Amino acid sequence: MADGVAAHSERKKTGNVVEIGFTGDDAALVRALENGHPGAPAALFDRHAPHVRRMLVRLLGHDQELADLLHEVFARALKNIAQLREPARLRQWLVGVAVHTARGHIRARTRRRWLRLASDETMPEPAAPGIDPAAVEAMRCTYAVLQKLPADQRIAFALRFIAGLELKDVAEAAGVSLATIKRRLARAEKRFVALARREPPLEPWLAASTRWRDLRDDDDGGDGGEAAR
Residues that bind another protein (CB under 8 A): 41-42, 45-46, 49-51, 53-54, 57-58, 61-62, 65-68, 70-72, 74-75, 78, 112, 115, 117-118, 125-126, 128, 130-132, 135-136, 138-139, 142, 160-166, 202, 205-206, 208-212, 226, 229
- Single-letter amino acid, residue 41: P
Spatial separation of the C-alpha atoms in residues 32 and 204, rounded to whole Å: 50
Nearest approach, Cβ of residue 73 and another protein (Å): 9
> What DSSP element (H or E) covers 143?
helix 133-146
Nearer to another protein, 72 or 152 (CB): 72
Angle at the Cα of 183 from the Cα atoms of 181 and 177, rounded to 5 degrees: 35
* Closest CB to another protein among residues 11, 229: 229
- Closest contact distance (angstroms) between CB of 10 and another protein is 17
Q: What's the min distance (Å) between Cβ of 3 and another protein?
A: 25
d(CA 63, CA 57): 7
End-to-end Cα spacing for the chain: 44
Complex with another protein: residue 70 or 155, whichever CB lies closer: 70
Distances (CA, A) of 27 to 59, 60, 92, 172: 27, 29, 13, 19
Reported as type and span, the H/E element at residue 17 is strand 17-22
| Residue closer to another protein, measured from CB, 34 or 169 | 169
Query: How does 164-191 read in b/e, with b if 16+ C-beta sit within 10 Å?
Result: ebebebbbbbbebeeeebbbbbbbbbbb
Q: How far is the CB of 88 from another protein (least distance, A)?
A: 19
Q: At what angle do helices 210-218 and 178-196 cross, to 10 degrees?
A: 80
Q: Which residue, 2 or 207, is less far from another protein as judged by CB?
A: 207
Q: Give the shortest CB-41-to-another protein separation in angstroms.
A: 6
Q: Smallest gap, in angstroms, from Cβ of residue 151 to another protein?
A: 18
Q: Which is nearer to another protein, 1 or 220 (CB)?
A: 220
